[in-house]
Structure 1
Amino acid sequence: MNEPLIEKTSGWRGTRELWIQAAYGALLETGIDAVKVMPLAERMGLSRTSFYGHFSDRKDLLDALIQLWQSKNTGNLIRRTEAYAETITEAILNVFDLWLLPDLFDSRLEFAVRNWAHSDARLAAMLEEADIIRVEALQSMFERFGYDTVHASVRANTVYQTQIGYISMKKDGPSDPLAPRLERMRTYAEIFAGQPVTDAEAARFFARHPVNET
């Protein structure tokens, strides 16, 4: 039997954020079928009743997970496409920060949500909408640097579908060695942009993602 994840005091019902984090952990570890009130209550060392002090029902909790995914992954992707850059290659490297920093883009959550969407038609529609919004943000980024609509669209889809493919295949994840990933990203940026990354741009990118040699 799992030990409770938190220490409880008499009468304490936990917090909404702790319930969401417990649900998040269960979703990543086992899938959406594990996100149920009683197993989560046992996992947290709380009573089932305490759940209803923060959520109306299980759907309310699932909606909170979806909102977390939308805010973190879609919201941060849009913000990175709009980040300051002097060239398209620098802009692409800004986007690549997402694939290296889980605090910006949670690849494990993305994978779990995509699996969940196979059994939830409502979420599948939301995922399709998110894909469209993300690609449009990437396309706008390319257009900002002078690419025509057709080329911007194709390049945006290529950037996005390449990374989603990696996520679906569980490749180039946080557990993979960082140095070769970084070197590939410079080449990817050049391919996606159709022009080389300057040494100064590469240096700034690598400085944001130092390799721990120990």
Structure 2
Amino acid sequence: MNDLLIEKTSGWRGTRDVWIQAAYATLLESGIDAVKVMPLSERLGLSRTSFYGHFTDRNDLLGALISLWQSKNTGNLIKRSEDYADSITEAILNVFDLWLLPDLFDSRLEFAVRNWAHSDMRLADKLEDADRLRVSALQAMFERFGFDTLHANVRANTVYQTQIGYISMKKDGPTDPLEPRLKRMRYYAEIFAGQPVSDAEAARFFSRHPVDTA
């Protein structure tokens, strides 16, 4: 996606998604100040006129990027926290899938949006809302398995802040090898839950994240 190239076709005006994906790639590469109509049109080999066939202005495009972030990262976190699980440890491992599968939770986008929010107060408000919604979803997950409100809230914040802190240190996403990261996941889940992960739960989790050792 970072090397997005579009074949020029006579009369082709692109699509709304093509512009959003180009803006997404630019945001990750260079930050929000680089997401501008003219550089994007040059990147895509499309005219500025084609941009205005899909968006009213730059702010409309930026709004689409924010919606992408909300849907993917906040939406998927909430869904994952509500997935079926037999125990709190299995529920936590379900959430951990987010940290390992970029299609579910885009850590690089999360990092970029948090940086962007430093210079955009309206986005900062949306970020605050997202943090609150995510922690509330995690808290509800703990409460579902019998934790009282205070313990559920503290554990939810611990799970969330640990991962957001990790993301804040990794501009280009996780760089450490997958295998040792996976091995640590079981112990993180035990710490967050206050009870051990069963071998069956661990096996189901690892089956979703096979490591290619070839």
After TM superposition, is the score higher than 0.5? yes
Change (3 A) 1:159 1:59: same
Does residue 192 (structure 1) correspond to residue 182 (structure 2)? The answer is no
Q: Deviations over 1:148-174 (max 9, x none)?
A: 000000000000000000000118944
Report what 2:204 is aligned to. 204
Q: Which structure 2 segments of 5+ residues have no match? A: none
Report what 2:7 is aligned to. 7
How many residue pairs get aligned? The number is: 212
Change (3 A) 1:122 1:137: same
Distance apart, 1:21 and its partner CA: 0.2
CA contact (8 A) 1:118 1:124 kept: yes
Report what 1:116 is aligned to. 116
Please tell me the residue identity of whatever aligns with 1:133: L
CA contact (8 A) 1:4 1:42 kept: no
Residue 211 of structure 2 aligns to a residue whose secondary structure is: coil
CA contact (8 A) 1:38 1:48 kept: yes
Change (3 A) 1:168 1:4: closer
Report what 1:61 is aligned to. 61
**Pairs within 5 Å for 1:6-45:** 6-45=6-45
Distance apart, 1:176 and its partner CA: 2.3
Q: Which structure 1 segments of 5+ residues have no match? A: none
Distance 1:132 1:4 in 2: 34
Instruction: Give structure 1 regions of 4+ aligned residues with deviation exceeding 2 angstroms.
Output: 171-176
Report what 2:168 is aligned to. 168
CA contact (8 A) 2:98 2:104 kept: yes
Q: Deviations over 1:68-102 (max 9, x none)?
A: 00000000000000000000000000000000000
CA contact (8 A) 1:8 1:45 kept: yes
Change (3 A) 1:192 1:63: same
CA contact (8 A) 2:108 2:171 kept: no
CA contact (8 A) 1:190 1:196 kept: yes
Q: TM-score, normalised by structure 2?
A: 0.97
CA contact (8 A) 2:111 2:171 kept: no
Question: Pairwise CA RMSD of aligned residues?
Answer: 1.4
Q: TM-score, normalised by structure 1?
A: 0.97
